[in-house]
Structure 1
Amino acid sequence: MKKNIIYTAVALIVGLLVGFLLFGRDSGNKSTNSDTHEHSEAAAQMWTCSMHPQIMQPEPGDCPLCGMDLIPADAGGEGLALNEIKMTNNAMALANVQTMVVGNTSETEENALVLSGKIMPNEEANAVQASYFEGRIEKLNVNFTGENVRKGQLLATIYAPALVAAQQELLTAASMKASQPALYNAVRNKLKLWKLSEEQISQIETSGKVRENFPIYATVSGTVSEKLTEEGDYVTQGQPIVRVSNLATVWAMFDAYENQISQLKEGQKISVTSNAYPNKEFEATISFIDPSLNTQSRTVSVRATLNNKEGILKPGMFVTSKVQVAKSTDQQSLISIPATAVLWTGNRSLVYVKTNPDEPVFKMREVDLGPKNGDMYIILDGLSNGEEVVVNGTFTVDAAAQLQGKRSMMNTDGQSEMDPTDHLAGIERLEVPSKFQDQLKAVFDDYMVIEKALVKDNSETPKKAAGDLLKSLQKVDMKLVKEEPGHSHWMLLDKELQQSALAISKTSDINEQRDHFIHLSAHLINAVKTFGINQKVYVDYCPMVKDDLGAFWLSTEKEILNPYFGASMLRCGEITDEIN
């Protein structure tokens, strides 16, 4: 009986212990598993680059390709419509992406006329400091462009043989002053014509010594905008030494349309805002209205003068002016945008519109361009008053859209997989001088050195060849393509080619070189297709580059030699076009 009781007690204890081990541990495991699950979800968060979406890292930081701040991988498409692209503020700053609100008549303030324009130096405050006499520059006190100078400051010292002879004449005439006063006065006046002061002339006469070197003083205060000579140069009388710009006041140049002229007059007060300082208003006065109307754009130039003593307004900045006018029900709303905002693909003109006023979200849109006035295009269709468009860094935004498979200049359908002929559709050959084609051919030759090195998995040669390509780009004379759209088109392509080549020249990482080679190839294909290089070339395409997004390159041979994979997939690709 005792044994049965003992056995029963032992069995009960063992049962309780086993139950605790099974169910207690399972409960604990549930809690642990729950924590682990939450932790794994947090750990599963990946971070990517808005400009290089192929970059995936488990924690925030900087992009290893461009240095931009990484964003949560799932945040890039959160709340975005089809084919919209989102960039970080840091990416915007590094790529120098600038936007501008378009429209000449505000929809929210019917009694406000809004004009778009640019800051320019005040030409009335500019001066050229010239040499008053012939001689050799012994000392130049201006060391660099951008240096500030004050009125009366010593700019240069010149050795002037003619002045040496004139001083000797003065000393001789001074000794005969009593008997030959006319001669004496004539010699003194001769020195005054060379901008010598009465004090300097009297000092020479009193000392009886001939000075060999003479000073040149600044006649205005300002900033040196251009050095026109160097020490040791021989200058003639009247030859400019330096150009000085006084930026204490600047001009804001606007274009007003024909139906707006009656609302503007000289002396009228206006308020001006800049993209650089959107929350700051500058008071200005209309100082000039062009008496002639541009018959092509139907606009007149309007100039306003702004106080810039703080030096925060820089020439070239985009500005917007708001002019209070009488309410009008029949006032026509016209829109103009800078030429830098437009991407051309043959007959198509494209811009990037900021679709979210509070976030850097953009989407490509096709527009109809009207006549060009200076650096501005009139928009006939495609944009509305108050919309915000990218006016600087447009190619960079487009490149980001390409990498993310969104609708872009080279991917018109916005599919994940690029159509290998999309980027060639509509591009027409422009007539340019053969000299320009020869200069572009030199750029192409340097490009081929990079390509052949990447085919051989060589990462050292592309660095030097990219540097040579930059030098070849600098030798391309844009004056040879004066007419639109060739001039503007090449300016945009040249900027993008330089950025891609510079990026390749700064890295020995072959994967980074190949990433930048994608953009270099895309823009060079556009250039060769548009301008020609007097040589037959092939456009090759590999659909497997960038995780099956695909990429193009140029080749001189029918044989496929893939620069994006090298020996690992040397024959991957196909010829999509021939450029003759």
Structure 2
Amino acid sequence: MKSNYWQPLLTGILLSIVLGLSLPTYAVESEDSAQQEEPQKGPHNGRLLIEGEFVVELAIFEKGVPPEFRVWVTQKGQPVKPEEVSLKVVLTRLGNVEDNITFSPEDDFLRGSMEIYEPHSFVVSIMAEYGGQQFNWQYDNFEGRIKIGQEIADAMAIKTAIAGPATLVETVKVYGKLATPVDAQRSIRARFEGQIEKVYVSLGQTVARGDLLLTIQSNESLKSYNVVSPIDGVISHRNANSGEQSGDRLLLTVTDNRTLVAELSVFPMDRHRVRKGAQVLLTANGNSVTATGVIDAIDTRTQANQATVMRATIDNKKGLLMPGLFVTADVALAKYAVPLAVKRSGLQSFRDFTVVYAKIGEEYEVRMLELGRIAGEWVEILGGLPIGAEYVTENSFVIKADIEKSGASHDH
């Protein structure tokens, strides 16, 4: 892996930016000295392993089959019969995981006994025996791997988590508006028409049940009586002043906004998927205020725009939401537990794969994923990552950039 030059350069620059330090200086190597020498290739595009006149060509073959090792052997430039060679390959992966591969003759080559699964990143140890002689080679074949010290990882805000079970919640996004529940308002009128002697509340004032609102002198009895609030709430309408005749008009309105109703428009393509009792996570447009609720009413007819209005009761005890606000809501459609999931924030692309970066010690390496269902912040993993693996959840793009700078290759 060609990281000796690029890794300290990149991580040093990133660390300097994060910590506000002056940029470090590095000696610039020539292109020839900065890059590792490319391995010598054979006629089957495999790596040549040479000792004297004995040559082993080791290739990863994957045309029409899962990736596997195939080996061709020559002695003094002449093909050696596969059955005359004893061969073993050990792949040592990150975390000291070993794959032991034996070989059997097939046509003019030796065929490996197991699939070379992704990533193709390992130390390769080859042991061959031919004509009473033993031959040994070893080389590094790393890809998608980088080492970053913990101090630097902390400075770059690289965060990790342990892969394991999760509960996925499938949702649909809908839009609507907040309204006041029909039973959350009280209209205050004079029981007996008369002169308003005093108004004790102002518009927007919070009142409790039983608080004094008005004193009115009856026109018939000329006796004064008090009007009190029938509920907790705020004065949302006032049309009364001292000295005025009450008549039979609306004087005050008391509104209880501790509970609101989200009137959500659900269009035909999603109508059949939403049920009463569905959980709702709501966000007020234009700010970050969120609230939760439950769908408890569904209209039986559609609107002019073909949407069906579904109503969710919203807890507003903190008073951060108001009637009339436009909202966006995620309505839960299904909930299911999966044995293995990762956070979507950790996903990156690598070659033709979707990957996460596994962390072992201070080293990070790609893990090619087989994805399942995706819901919310989670994605189900069907293969490519074991339960209990530590993986990067935040700022994985930093690792991707470092790996791309290092030029780690995929050697077949």
Q: TM-score, normalised by structure 2?
A: 0.38
- Higher RCO structure (Cα 8 Å, ≥6 apart): 2
Q: TM-score, normalised by structure 1?
A: 0.28
- Structure with the bigger percentage of strand: 2
